[in-house]
Every structure is written in C-alpha cells, then in structure tokens.
Amino acid sequence: MSENGQPPNSEKYPQHVAIIMDGNGRWAKRRGLPRLAGHKAGTDNLRKIIKACVEFGVKYLTIYAFSTENWGRPKEEVDGLMRILEDVIERELSELKEQGVQIRHLGCLDQLAGSVQRKVLNAVEQTKENSTLILNVAFNYGGRDEIIHAVKKMLGDHITADAVTHELMSEYLYTAGSPDPDLIIRTSGELRISNFLIWQAAYSEWYVTETYWPDFGREEFKKALDEYAQRDRRFGKVESSEYTGVND
Ligand code: FPP
C-alpha cells in the first residue's frame, strides 16, 4: 500500500471498467443447481465488485446484465432475471446511495414490464446527484440496437451529414456522458464481444479469465486492474521511444 492507502499502481488504474459477467449458468451446473442460482450468486458478487470499484477509485463501471439476445432464453430464466433486477434495486438502493453510486441505464426500457421500468427510472432519479461511481447497467442492451437507436435519433434531430463526427456519435449513444471503457473484463473464458459496447470498445484493453463470474471476487478484480496498469496503450500509434531510441 502507498501513503494514500491505495495499491502502488493505482494511479494507472482504469477510469472506466466494463464487465461481461459470464459463466453464471456453468457455475450453477457444476454445483447441481438451477441456472437462476448462478445468477443470484452473480448478483452477490456484483455487490463485492461495486465496493471494490469504490475502494480502488474506478469512476465508471458498466455491467452487461441482460442483452437483447437474452430474450431467447427459456421464459423461466428471463422472468428470473427481470425479478433479480427488481429485487436488486429494492434491496440495494439505499446502500448504493450511501456509497455515492449513480445508477444509469443502458438499453431499451420500453420492452420491460411497467413495474421494472418504474423501479429503474426511480433508481436513476434517486441517485442522479451521486458521483463516487457511475454504474451503467446494460439491461435489454445490444450494441447494434444502440447504434440504430442513435442514428434514428440523429435523423429525428435533423443532424446533417457534415455534422456527424465520432464525438457526436458518442453523444447519441446510451453511454453519453461516460468515457469509452479503458478495460473490458470477460469472465468464464469466452473470446467474444457478444454485441457489447461495439462502438465504445474500439481501443479498450481486454482481460479474459477462465473464472466464472460468481467467483470473480475482489482479489481477481484487483489482479485485472494491476495487469491493466502494466499495459502500454498506443491507440493505433507508436511509442515516441521507437523513433528516438529512448526506452522510458
Ligand atoms: C451470463 O452468464 C450472465 C447473464 C446473462 C446475466 C448476468 C446477470 C447477473 C450477474 C445478475 C446481476 C443482474 C442485475 C440485473 C444487476 P450465462 O448465464 O450465460 O452463463 P453460462 O454461459 O455459463 O451459461
């Protein structure tokens, strides 16, 4: 630990971490439990990771909780995930408020039940002044849908072709107001983007671990942040030392 109580590398930690919380089903199967037990264990783990973000000074956390493709899962699982979202908001909102977490929603709310919509909107409203950690909850989210939604909105706003820039596009996405993710973590070993933040991930660093999401706790999270802190991000450029011969 350094003098400020933070790990030695912490000034190089990512500002924005996004997570594909994968492996809940396999975690449950391994224990002979129903898939929903895996999602519940994943929810408990999320609480730990939110705390760890506050502890390590991560400013933005984006979690992939329900994709536009997840509607294709059995009804029991879809209903269960909707219930989990409602329960999490009901149970955790006051603690999240105390921790200074601001909740934002990414995705389309319209297809969700009225009660879920109201809870999400209430959580967003009640936490809007918080700034310790911005928690973007991608729920009924898909990267391709997000881009189509942005283009339609631009056309509705009569944006001219000349006015369309990278920056303007970013302002029309669900993630408007959040910087692009510095680090994307995917648990359970799959090597896919799965329609997650496909615009925003252009230069994100990736960290993939075999660990299933419910077991990806504080220590593994810290390991991912430490590994990120060692990375050399070049954004398609080269390091100046490659021209000067200076190795700094
Ligand atoms: C992917 O694992 C996980 C999901 C589709 C759901 C993630 C949801 C949570 C962790 C609960 C937290 C949710 C909210 C609403 C805050 P998988 O089921 O595809 O795992 P598998 O690939 O092993 O089957």
**Domain CATH number, residue 60:** 3.40.1180.10
Residue 42 Cβ < 6 Å to ligand 1: yes
The residue contributing the CA closest to ligand 1 atom 13 is 65
Lowest-confidence region among 59-63, 96-100, 231-235:
231-235
Residue 104 Cβ < 6 Å to ligand 1: no
Q: How far apart are CA 23 and CA 27, in angstroms?
A: 6
Percent of the chain with pLDDT over 90: 89
The model's pTM:
0.94
Name the token pair of 74. 């059995």
* DSSP code, position 3: T
For the chain, how many structural domains are there in total?
1
Q: Does position 4 have pLDDT exceeding 70, yes or no?
A: no
Residue 70 Cβ < 6 Å to ligand 1: yes
Is there a domain that residue 176 lies in? no
Is there a domain that residue 70 lies in? yes
16 touches 190 (CB < 8 A): no
Range of the domain at 197: 14-142+182-229
Catalytic residues: 22, 70
